[in-house]
Amino acid sequence: MLIDTGASNSCIHSELKEHFELQEKGDPFDAAGASEGKMQAVMTLECKIQLGRSFKGEQAFVLLDLNHVNTTLNSQGTVKIDGIIGADFLKKNKAIIDYSLSKLFL
């Protein structure tokens, strides 16, 4: 997962919908992102998530094709991601990011 404080919604790569057993909620919509143009997206129902050893919660995600993100990360020598933790999750869970220690506190 990638933490992106500028992303308004948390996202999961749409190709992983079945892997994470996510259920769609509502109709597809056009989503804007850092890439050019609009992308097709769909919301999920809230699902149980676990981050690290101790955090457990529930979160709805936007299913989005993240191939363009992974292509960019790969070109920079970074591993691919399954999703993005966005501002919706960070705010809901009163997250604190300690940049000097590279830690996320929930």
Strand pairing category for 2-3 and 83-85: parallel
Residue type, 106: L
- Grouping H, G, I as helix, E, B as strand and the rest as coil, residue 61 is coil
- Report pTM: 0.83
d(Cα 13, Cα 65) in Å, to the nearest integer?
5
Q: How many CB atoms lie within 10 A of CB 64?
A: 21
pLDDT score at 36 = 59
CATH class for the region spanning 2-105 = mainly beta
Per-residue model confidence as pLDDT tens digits over 2-59: 999 999 999 999 999 999 999 999 888 888 765 656 788 999 999 988 888 878 889 9
Beta bridge partners of 98: 103
Distance CA 91, CA 99 (A): 17
Domain ranges, ordered by start, for the chain: 2-105
Residue 82 is predicted with a pLDDT of 94
